[in-house]
């Protein structure tokens, strides 16, 4: 095998550490800036609960299994990754910063100072994972995307800060180190998913990206091309599986099988004659049930999820700005009828989001399930930050080092505009 090149602008690897699956995607960044998928691997996830590591050894084994599959398919020796982070500890916050311009025109140093002013907050047990600039304001003129070189005396910045638990991030990196992987950066998973499935016109018009995974439902809202709201709901596909197990009086494994093979999100889409067969428990005979019972259980839980998401959007104040509706992604987006149910529940246009604008083995990742992993390599391609950490690094200092490196490389954020 040839060794993967470490953030040299050519080959990058995304690692989606989910509650139900571990997914690895290797991609080559072509000379034209295109993403060419060259390898893929996945494994059942162990040692995680609602996006948070609960057993480092088990999670590391799952990561290693997925990485080895990707290595076999790509011919690469993978030793570094961009790792995703999610979980209910993630929060988003909008902040403003303001500084006086020191010269006649605005320089990069002025931008660094105003960004640091916006970031100057104290969050117990949390660190800033991402600083996403929404706009600059020069002497009262808003809507400025790139102020360098402009004349002005007062510079303001509006940013969206994404905060994460220090320990949760450090545990993710430790899992990677135990799997013999360097960590280039830790990236918010719904941010990565949005890079993979959203179109620029949707971001400008105003859109909700809703990634429904196994343990959580992650949401980001875009307005005028920038993220303005982030939240995580601690409900997802696992809760649907549990409801099926309870409602149909069966095991969780059987409930999961039935959900994947026969699941449907809307009762109205089930014919009266349709049935579902459940395997008997502990030697008992198989049972045949009305499929409408299954659909009613699934619909009730997803209606709750969509209702809670809509309440969150209302509280954020951005509901009137959502002109492009909702884009659903994640494993639950595969369920039949879920887009229609989301439209009825949230009273918005809804589409299913799959990774776009990629080349190579794109058919391997042409599914909402792989939106985060593909988004991680897109993030790596667009943000040339040297934030690699050796396997011998002190895990307790890892996330602090991530934050420090991001502060020292703020220019990477400016290149987005």
pTM above 0.85, yes or no: yes
Q: State how far the alpha carbon of 69 is from the alpha carbons of 128, 232, 360, 366, in Å.
A: 33, 30, 17, 18
CB proximity list for 333: less than 8 A, separation 6 or greater: 212, 339, 352, 353, 368
Residue limits of CATH 3.30.1490.110 in the chain: 91-165
The domain covering 2-88+166-191+371-398 belongs, at the CATH homologous superfamily level, to: ATPase, nucleotide binding domain (3.30.420.40)
At residue 303, what are phi and psi to the nearest 5 degrees? -60, -40
Taking alpha carbons only, the member of 271, 265, 268, 269 closest to residue 339 is: 265
CATH architecture of the domain 238-297 equals 2-Layer Sandwich (3.30)
Q: Residue 30: what pLDDT? A: 81
Reported confidence tier of residue 320, pLDDT bands at 50, 70, 90: very high
> Is 200-236+300-352 a domain of CATH 3.30.420.40?
yes
At residue 270, what are phi and psi to the nearest 5 degrees? -100, 130
Q: Residue 34: what pLDDT? A: 85
| DSSP labels, 65-103 | HHHHHHHHHH-EE--EEEEEE-STT-EEEEEEEEEE-SS
Helix (H, G, I), strand (E, B) or coil at 355: coil
Tally Cβ neighbours within 10 Å of residue 302. Answer: 26
- Given a cut of 50, whether residue 211 has pLDDT beyond it is yes
Q: Residue 10: what pLDDT? A: 77
DSSP state of 190: H
Q: Residue 384: what pLDDT? A: 54
Reported confidence tier of residue 255, pLDDT bands at 50, 70, 90: very high
Q: Residue 142: what pLDDT? A: 93
Q: If you compute the radius of gyration of the chain from its CA atoms, what whole number of angstroms results?
A: 22
201-232 exposure pattern, b = at least 16 Cβ within 10 A, e = fewer: ebbebbbbbbbbbbbbbbbbbbbebbbbbbbb
CA 1 to chain centre: 30
CB proximity list for 298: less than 8 A, separation 6 or greater: 240, 243, 244, 259, 263, 264, 265, 335
Burial (CB count <10 Å: 0-12, 13-18, 19+), residue 344:
middle
Mean pLDDT of 271-286: 89
Q: State how far the alpha carbon of 306 is from the alpha carbons of 44, 237, 311, 359, in Å.
A: 27, 13, 9, 33
Tell me the average pLDDT of the chain: 88
Q: Residue 405: what pLDDT? A: 42
pLDDT tens track for 144-191: 999 999 999 999 999 999 999 999 999 999 999 999 999 999 999 999
CB proximity list for 334: less than 8 A, separation 6 or greater: 367, 368, 369
Angle at 367 between CA 365 and CA 372, to 5 degrees: 75
pLDDT tens track for 8-55: 447 899 999 988 899 999 999 887 778 999 999 999 999 998 888 999
Mean pLDDT of 84-109: 93
- pLDDT above 70 covers a percentage of the chain that reads 90
Rounded-to-integer distance, Cα 374 and Cα 372, Å: 5
Helix (H, G, I), strand (E, B) or coil at 165: strand
Helix (H, G, I), strand (E, B) or coil at 109: helix
DSSP state of 264: B
- The kind and range of the H/E element at 260 are helix 252-262
How many residues appear in the chain? 417
Residue limits of CATH 3.30.420.40 in the chain: 2-88+166-191+371-398, 200-236+300-352, 238-297
Q: Which of the residue ranges 89-98, 303-312, 357-366 would you say has the lowest mean pLDDT? A: 357-366
**CATH placement of domain 91-165:** 3.30.1490.110
Q: Which of the residue ranges 47-51, 95-99, 305-309 would you say has the lowest mean pLDDT? A: 47-51
pLDDT tens track for 353-382: 999 999 888 888 899 999 999 999 999 988
């Amino acid at each position: 095998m040839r060794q993967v090149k470490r953030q040299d602008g050519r080959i990058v690897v995304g690692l989606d550490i989910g509650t139900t699956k571990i997914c690895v995607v290797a991609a080559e960044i072509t000379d034209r800036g295109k993403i060419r998928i060259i390898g893929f691997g996945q494994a059942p996830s162990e040692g995680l609960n609602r996006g948070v590591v609960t057993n480092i050894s088990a999670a590391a084994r799952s990561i290693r299994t997925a990485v080895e599959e990707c290595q076999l398919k790509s011919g690469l020796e993978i030793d570094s990754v961009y790792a995703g982070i999610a979980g209910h500890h993630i929060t988003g916050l909008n902040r403003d910063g303001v500084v006086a311009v020191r010269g006649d025109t605005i320089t990069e140093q002025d931008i660094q100072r105003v960004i640091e002013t916006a970031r100057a907050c104290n969050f117990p047990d949390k660190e800033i994972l991402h600083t996403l600039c929404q706009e600059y304001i020069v002497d009262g003129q808003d809507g400025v995307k790139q102020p360098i070189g402009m004349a002005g005396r007062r510079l303001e910045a509006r940013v969206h800060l994404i905060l994460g638990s220090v320990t949760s991030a450090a545990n993710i990196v430790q899992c990677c180190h135990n799997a013999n992987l360097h960590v280039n950066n830790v990236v918010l998973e719904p941010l990565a998913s949005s890079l993979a499935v959203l179109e620029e016109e949707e971001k400008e018009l105003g859109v909700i990206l809703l990634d429904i995974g196994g343990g959580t439902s992650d949401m980001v809202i875009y307005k005028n091309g920038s993220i303005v709201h982030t939240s995580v709901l601690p409900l997802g596909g696992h809760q649907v599986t549990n409801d099926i197990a309870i409602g149909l009086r069966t095991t969780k494994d059987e409930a999961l099988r039935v959900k994947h093979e026969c699941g449907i999100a809307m009762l109205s889409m089930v014919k009266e004659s349709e049935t579902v067969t459940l395997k008997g428990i502990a030697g008992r005979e198989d049972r045949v049930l009305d499929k409408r019972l299954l659909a009613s259980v699934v619909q009730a839980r997803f209606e709750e999820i969509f209702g809670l998401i809509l309440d969150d959007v209302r509280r954020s104040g951005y509901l009137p700005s959502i002109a492009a509706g909702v884009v659903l992604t994640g494993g639950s987006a595969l369920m039949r009828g879920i887009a229609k149910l989301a439209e009825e529940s949230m009273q918005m246009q809804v589409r299913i989001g799959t990774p776009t604008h990629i080349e190579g083995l794109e058919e391997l990742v042409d599914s909402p399930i792989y939106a985060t992993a593909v988004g991680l390599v897109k993030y790596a391609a667009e943000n040339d930050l040297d934030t690699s950490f050796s396997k011998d690094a002190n895990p307790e200092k890892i996330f602090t080092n991530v934050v420090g490196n991001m502060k020292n490389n703020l220019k990477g954020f400016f290149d987005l505009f």
